[in-house]
Amino acid sequence: MKHLLLAITAAAPLIAPVHAAAETIYLTAGGMLDPAAGRIVENAALIIEDGKIVSVGTMSSLTAPEGAREITLSGKTVLPGLIDMHVHLTGDPTKGGGYSALGYPGERFVIWAVTNAEKTLMAGFTTVRNTGADGYEVLALRDAVNEGEIPGPRIFAAGPPVGIVGGHCSDNNYLPPEAEATGEGVATGPWEMRAKVRQNIKYGVDFIKTCSTGGVFSKGTLLGAPQGTPEELAAIVDEAHMRGLKVAVHAHGTIGIKNAIRAGADTIEHASYLDDEAISLAKRNGVYLSMDIYNTEYTLSEGEKNGVLEESLEKERQVGGVQRESFRKAVKAGAKVVFGTDAAIYPHGDNAMQFSRMVQFGMTPLQAIRAATSLAAEALGKSGDLGCLSAGCAADLIAVSGDPLDDVSALETVDFVMKEGVIYKGGAE
């Protein structure tokens, strides 16, 4: 008993508080950027109760409630916590390139995921969508974060991606036939696909991930070649939607992108080869495009050293520039482009590096910030709860120095992080 108590006491500082204590916080800052309003309000003040924002105003319009804990972020701009719509917390690019990933047991990936979750949160990303893992490990991570056992962002997890034999989702093709390796989500035909969706839902996933083309990092797959028939894709989407879950579809090539949209996809991941028809289909169907335009730089400079196959490097050389031009076209056409980076291909915690590329390829800083806040929340079905700074929103807040509307790279250095009213970084003034 004594040992147990000692263990609990010793472990206490490492354990993040489960819920925001029933406390009231009065937070003031040099400025505040609500993405919905789109401008910085100076001398901002916010009142937070039990992990939620209850009122928003200025230091002169809002006074500190009796007994409130005061947090002063002078000279800083407060924004909603950022949302990355495409990460793989189990992956580490320096250890998992090409064949090297096969040398690690599954447990190591889980350990990396724990540290990656913390790095992601400390970089200001208070919510992420984990768009696939080998099994159900990220669901356990999600629950451990939610129960305050480890620090991390709020996680929406997909579980094993559902996809065809030999496809980009789950199979990846690294091992020879005698290894008889097959991914957890691999299926053939609409009914088997439905069964995989049902299995994922049974174990508690938050959304379904599938693939309608090949990919850069799967062996022997082509970016332009569709994967899954329209019937298979429609079955996956129907089964997921029937159960109230959204579907994220990995698609680089044009035909696969259109197949996915026509099948009812909610988000298209990568969306590299967009033509005008694909863009208007996405717009007409209210589909969000999650385009990971930063990681190409990391792969092309570090990939070879990390063991990435030459085949993948060659695919990356082909797709990187094209995807950036597609991004420009999609933004210009007014498509809904959300912030998704595919962190794991590059180191977790560097997620915000993508903001400046989004501005370089056609967004205003405000559009890029909305892509990672209000628009991402909308894509998650969480408008008014996440990615916002008004009464009723979760108290997920970050603070940066400088004006991110002037220079969006200000988001690369986050000085303060709060999630659901709990401070994880800064705020000791």
Cα–Cα distance between 318 and 312 in angstroms, integer? 10
Beta bridge partners, 24, equal: 49
207-211/246-251 β-pairing: parallel
* Smallest separation (angstroms) from ligand ARG to the CB of 301: 13
- Which CB atom, from 215 or from 349, has the smaller least distance to ligand ARG? 215
Cα–Cα distance between 38 and 338 in angstroms, integer? 17
* Smallest separation (angstroms) from ligand ARG to the CB of 215: 3
Q: Output the six-digit token pair for 154.
A: 């709020």
200: enclosing H helix or E strand: helix 189-202
* Smallest separation (angstroms) from ligand ARG to the CB of 320: 5
* Smallest separation (angstroms) from ligand ARG to the CB of 111: 22
The count of C-alpha atoms lying within 13 angstroms of the C-alpha of 96, restricted to the half-sphere facing its C-beta, is 20
**CA torsion through residues 180, 186, 191, 194, sign:** positive
Cα–Cα distance between 290 and 42 in angstroms, integer? 32
Cα–Cα distance between 417 and 386 in angstroms, integer? 15
* Smallest separation (angstroms) from ligand ARG to the CB of 131: 9
- Which CB atom, from 135 or from 320, has the smaller least distance to ligand ARG? 320
- Which CB atom, from 207 or from 217, has the smaller least distance to ligand ARG? 217
- Which CB atom, from 26 or from 217, has the smaller least distance to ligand ARG? 217
* Smallest separation (angstroms) from ligand ARG to the CB of 321: 9
Encode burial over 306-336: b for 16+ CB neighbours within 10 A, e otherwise: bbbbeebbebbeebbeebbebbbbbbeeebb
- Which CB atom, from 319 or from 376, has the smaller least distance to ligand ARG? 319
* Smallest separation (angstroms) from ligand ARG to the CB of 302: 13
- Which CB atom, from 207 or from 424, has the smaller least distance to ligand ARG? 207
* Smallest separation (angstroms) from ligand ARG to the CB of 298: 9
- Beta-carbon contacts of 311 under 8 Å, excluding residues fewer than 6 positions away, are 219, 220
Helix (H, G, I), strand (E, B) or coil at 384: coil
Judged by the rule CB under 6 A, the positions of this chain that interact with ligand ARG are 215-217, 270, 292, 295-296, 316, 319-320, 323, 342, 345
Helix (H, G, I), strand (E, B) or coil at 86: strand
Residue positions counted in the chain: 429
- Which CB atom, from 147 or from 275, has the smaller least distance to ligand ARG? 275
* Smallest separation (angstroms) from ligand ARG to the CB of 129: 14
311: enclosing H helix or E strand: helix 310-332
Cα–Cα distance between 26 and 70 in angstroms, integer? 5
Cα–Cα distance between 116 and 121 in angstroms, integer? 9
Cα–Cα distance between 314 and 319 in angstroms, integer? 9
- Which CB atom, from 113 or from 398, has the smaller least distance to ligand ARG? 113
- Which CB atom, from 26 or from 273, has the smaller least distance to ligand ARG? 273
- Beta-carbon contacts of 390 under 8 Å, excluding residues fewer than 6 positions away, are 34, 36, 53, 56, 384
Give the residue nearest to ligand ARG (CB).
215
- Which CB atom, from 77 or from 131, has the smaller least distance to ligand ARG? 131
* Smallest separation (angstroms) from ligand ARG to the CB of 125: 18
